[in-house]
Structure 1
Amino acid sequence: MATRALTQDDIQRLADHSLCVITDLQTAEGAYPASPTFSAYVGYSWLRDGSFIADGASLAGATLSATRFFDWCARTLEGRADQIRTIVQQSDEGTPPSGDHMLPARFTFAGEDGTDDWWDFQLDGYGTWIWALGEHLDRHDLDSAPYREAVALTVDYLVASWQRPCYDWWEEHAEHVHISTLACIAAGFEAALRLHLISGERARRVEAELAAVHARILGDGVKDRHLIKWVGSTAVDGSLASAIAPLGVIDASSPIARRTIQVLEAHLTVDGGTHRYLGDTFFGGGQWPLLSCFLGLAHDAAGDRTRANELFDWAASTATADLDMPEQVDRHLIAPGMRQEWIDRWGPVATPLLWSHAMLLRLGIQLGRIDSHRLTAINEGNA
């Protein structure tokens, strides 16, 4: 299916709407809802999604909005200090708690556990929030003092847990160690060290663990010269592009980065739209705008701005007539027979998905396709 051509005015209107969706839907507590109407997501904020949303908002000039999200993260984690210390102690003693007793991937807007079952033991969000916080503090020259306790608790939790299998970005395959998860953890450790958010013995331990995470990624996380979905796999996952950019864990000029981009294009990307992974059946296994944006960021970091622009154009083309961006679209479905089963279970695809809007902003601003000064003016006018 050909994508519709968008004018520069179309793109800027979409960007304006994207920022408004993010800031208008942010809760009084500071959390970003994943999607306001999708049945399985209503009432929850993910550390992973929210951190990438906050990064997009921060880059777009919505500084206060991003700060409010990071304040929410800090309060939520500080409120779990006793739980985190218990997890760390048990792990250090060689008796780590089961996944059911680890920190959740998503929280209610009040920062509490959810009441329904979920695939919760995910470590990537805990690294991602520190990375995104670091980007935000550095970008706007903000004081790091309010976040030091929460960052210390988070890195202690990750140091104790990073080697464990857990669910991936997609709440799947809890039995594996996922390379995208390790990349998020490495990026969080790097930010904590670079900005001196931690110090003393804790910093020295994190530095040693960061080296170990990098060694695991570059050792067990590479097959045939490209990053792989999980340790022991040969397949790829769309989330791997994030390790190249924006996380920067893998040097974009390296042979591994170039080969990973090449394989992601060959295996998962059709007409500019990127799938999560081969074999995906969620809503039929459609193409995700946010993954095309991640791949676009990786291409741009590697020096191919032409391809990055093509991926941006495809992502922008998925917006609805109301300018809302979906989680995925039903183009080139991997498992079309499964689409209706998920609709019957949870309703139509999540639209708008705030993470999709944020990644469009992130890539579009970087490419110069979106006027960030205009976005800042809009945000200031709505403040």
Structure 2
Amino acid sequence: MNGTIEQGILGNSKLLVGIGTKGHITHLFWPNLDFAEHMEASFAGIYSDKTGFGWTTDSPWDYSQTYIKDAPIIRTVMHNPEIGIDVEVTDFVHSKDDILVRHFRIINRSRDDINLKLFYYLDLKIMETLTGNAAFYDSDSDSIIQYYRQCYFACGGDIKMSGYQCGAHNDGSDAFSDVYDGRLEGNPLIISHGSKGINSSQLWDLGRFSPGEEKEVTIFIGMGSDENRALSSLLTARQNCYKGLYEDTERYWNEWLSRSREVKKFSEVYRRSLITLKLLSSREWGGVIAAPTTVPNYRFCWPRDGAYIITALDRAGYHEEAEKFYFWCKIAQEKEHHVHCGLKGDVLVCSTADGKAGGWKQRYFISPPMVGPSWGPQIDETGAVLSGIVYHYRLTKDKKFLKENWSMIMKAAEYICYMQEKQGRDGIMCRCFGPWEEKWARHLYSNAACYSGLKAASMIARVLGERDMIAARWDEAANCIKKGIEREFWDADAGYFRKSIDPIDKTVDTSILGIVIPFRVFSAKDERVRKTVARIEEAFNYPVGGIGRYPGDVYYGGNPWIITTMWLAIYYRYTGNIARADELARWCIEHATELDMLPEQVNRDTGEPLSAIPLGWSHAMLVHYILEWEKRR
């Protein structure tokens, strides 16, 4: 179940591109951050008169990679010891236009003259399908255009290509196979047949390189909803040239970062995390994807993940991004009803007949908001959004923002009240899926989120001068949840808080920290919380260190997670245990990738990054930790 793809990301909050460790493209999301993902494969090849042809993703190439400081610009240096050359690739997405720029700088490091050709391979599955695609060579623009429905891609260089091939997989025209003799056949048109995908290759004959000589080629991939728009994007990029586009992009990101709160601790990973969170946020709609991955498939907006991410950006000074996210939440909020589920025996039965509007489902496509695959109610999502809204108000004191969102706030608070147990359990939340989306029960984390959400709504009602009766009712409902938590979830005999009840689950779970961070049901110094944290610390003893979700976790084999480790770090920062807090935070940073991308998990035995990379929630928790450190230093 691994499927881990180590990548850095580029983008402009509309176009999102992943670059792998070998300088290859891993993902290309456009025109939205969640759909469609068009990339099957894309990388370069080199033909030399010494060794013949080879892809730069194969042996004997070796690689080093870095981000350009304070910008989503990746530089990959590839060295081939057999030929004696370096290929330096600088990748970025223009800050405004939907254009991917790939700048190749090829250097002869050997003592001999070499003849070299640069090949570029592009294999797209436009609109996530291999059927129905077509590609052709356009001689007027000297580019290859591939298209399907309303998605067009135009790929060409800043100098005239020496050859091209449009082909189909596993066919006599296959552009992947056509390169090995150092030339291309020149097939100008291909239309997919059945389930065969299509591909293309381009060639630039760079001629003789003297020792130490270098030459450059820039490849542009422009996008548009029709042929003219895609070509216009490509031609504009050529006109503005690599240097101009690079300077535009670098200037934009330097200016954007200049608006953030300055920090002294972990400043480089802090700024990289802010850029990463911005790239995961939709420019047009405001929704935030959890991660730019399809395995695992995290290219959705979970309102919960979004709330953690947006409060991190909000706290760092990016209030506009926060307002856009809550605008997205208002559109996504359930208007008619919410699926209401219950167990009949061992079977989970879902119905809309007795549901209520006002909540949020588990996850959504973001552009525009559409419900993604979900498996039942998860009420912590609703509490997290309300908590985030009041946090934004505390930062900005913007009453207009509250007024504009009052209807959403009221419906969400009423939905939480509707989902409270009215019989037998005296006000705690009904059964649902928990934060890890695995078990059907009454979860401590979910109750904490709803407590915080109702307290937030009550405060907002008073700020806006709404009826005191509403504020008082929500306040009382929140107090009932807190009393229920103390009564039902605290296990006095065991000396720690239970993870869930109905059915009782006494497993130690790091998500229990939600009662303090961020939902503030109890103080971090509450003795019951201290005892629970001690049990969490005792529960994990991975060879590589770090903190997991809970003992017995089987997802990806059960590993330490960045978010859970950072959760504990933030807790210790609250209580003043600075040494332990920093130890945990540094562990997370040390287990980032070479590009400072934080994964969801870390392999318990090898320490390698695992699952989704980068995970927005992981980066958000790091930002929260750093800003908490600044607040308390």
State the distance in 1 between where 2:613 and 2:467 align: 42
Matched, 1:278 2:551: yes
In the alignment, which residue of structure 1 is the partner of 2:290?
34
CA distance in structure 2 between the aligned counterparts of 1:76 and 1:137, rounded to whole angstroms: 21
Name the structure 1 match of 2:582. Answer: 309
Matched, 1:218 2:486: yes
Note the C-alpha offset of 1:73: 0.8
1:197-236 equivalence runs, <5 A:
199-223=467-491, 224-231=494-501, 232-236=504-508
- In structure 2, the partner of 1:168 is 434
Q: TM-score, normalised by structure 1?
A: 0.81
Opposite residue 129 of structure 1, the aligned amino acid is V
Letter in 1 for 2:622: L
User: Partner letter of residue 212 of structure 1?
Assistant: C
Structure 2 gaps of 5+ residues are 1-262, 343-347, 421-428
Conserved? CA contact 1:222–1:228, under 8 Å: yes
Residue 598 of structure 2 corresponds to residue 362 of structure 1: no
Number of residue pairs aligned between Structure 1 and Structure 2: 340
Q: Contact between 1:126 and 1:154, CA under 8 Å: does it hold in 2?
A: yes
CA distance in 2, matches of 1:14, 1:38: 25
| Secondary structure at 1:298 match in 2 | helix
In 2: Cα distance, 1:61 partner to 1:38 partner: 31
Using the size of structure 2 for normalisation, the TM-score is 0.50
Distance 1:9 1:248, change over 3 A: closer
Aligned to 2:182: none
1:76 and 1:330, CA in 2 relative to 1: closer, same or farther beyond 3 A? Answer: same
**Is residue 420 of structure 2 the alignment partner of residue 155 of structure 1?**
no
Code of the aligned partner of 1:317: E
Secondary structure at 1:299's aligned position in 2? helix
Shift of 1:70: 1.3
Q: Which residue of 1 aligns with 2:275?
A: 20
Residues 288 and 327, structure 1, Cα contact 8 Å, conserved in 2:
yes
Q: Which amino acid aligns with 1:158?
A: I
Residue 237 of structure 1, CA deviation: 0.9
State how 1:79-94 maps to structure 2 within 5 Å.
Answer: 80-83=334-337
Deviation track 1:111-139 (CA, whole Å, cap 9, x = no partner) reads 2112x4x3332110100111111111111
Q: 1:159 to 1:264 in 2, by over 3 A?
A: same
1:246-261 counterparts in 2 under 5 A? 246-261=518-533
Report the Cα distance in structure 2 between the residues aligned to 1:164 and 1:332, rounded to whole angstroms: 38
Structure with a larger share of its residues in helix? 1
In 2 relative to 1, CA 364–52 (structure 1 residues): closer, same or farther, beyond 3 Å? same
2:574 is aligned with what amino acid?
A
Larger radius of gyration: 2
CA distance in structure 2 between the partners assigned to 1:282 and 1:39 by the alignment? 13
The answer as to whether partners of 1:246 and 1:294 remain within 8 angstroms in 2 is: no
Which secondary structure state, in structure 1, belongs to the residue aligned with residue 437 of structure 2?
coil
Find the aligned partners of 1:123 and 1:332 in 2 and give their Cα distance: 35
- The one-letter amino acid paired with 2:508 is V
Contact map agreement 2:383 2:452 (CA 8 A) in 1:
yes
CA contact (8 A) 2:510 2:548 kept: yes
Q: CA deviation at 1:18?
A: 0.7
Does residue 288 (structure 1) correspond to residue 561 (structure 2)? The answer is: yes
The secondary structure found in structure 2 opposite 1:31 is coil
Cα drift, residue 330 of structure 1: 0.7
Alpha carbons of structure 1 residues 310 and 295: separation in structure 2 relative to 1, 3 Å: same
8 Å contact kept, 1:269–1:275: no
Aligned-partner SS, 1:250: coil
Q: Are 2:345 and 1:73 aligned?
A: no
* AA matched with 2:437: E
In structure 2, give the amino acid aligned to 1:157: Y
RMSD: 2.9
**In the alignment, what sits opposite 2:361?**
104
2:592 to 277, 299, 319: 319
Instruction: Give yes or no for contact 1:34–1:46 (8 Å, CA) kept in 2.
Output: yes
Structure 1 alignment gaps of length 5 or more: 1-7, 92-96, 334-338, 372-383
Cα pair 1:106 1:120 within 8 Å, conserved? no
Paired with 1:178 and 1:160, the residues of 2 have a C-alpha distance of 17
CA distance in structure 2 between the partners assigned to 1:139 and 1:172 by the alignment: 34
- Between structures 1 and 2, the one with greater strand share: 2
* Partner deviation per Cα, 1:79-116 (whole Å, 9 max, x = no partner): x33325x97xx99xxxxx954546521111022112x4
Deviations 1:236-292 (A, max 9, x none): 211111211232111112111111111111113656511111110000111111111
Is the contact made by 1:361 and 1:370 (CA closer than 8 Å) also made in structure 2?
no
Q: Which of residues 445, 450, 459 is equivalent to 1:194? A: 459
Percent sequence identity over aligned pairs: 24
Measured at CA, do residues 309 and 269 of structure 1 come closer, stay the same or move farther in structure 2, by a change above 3 Å? farther
Shift of 1:182: 0.6
Aligned to 2:382: 126
Task: Work out the CA distance in 2 between the residues paired with 1:215 and 1:300.
Answer: 27
Give the conservation status (yes or no) of the 8 Å contact 1:123–1:185: yes
- 2:305 pairs with 1:52: no
Equivalent residues in 2 for 1:175-186, closer than 5 Å: 176-186=441-451
Distance 2:298 2:490 in 1: 37
Contact 1:276 1:287 in 2 (8 A): yes
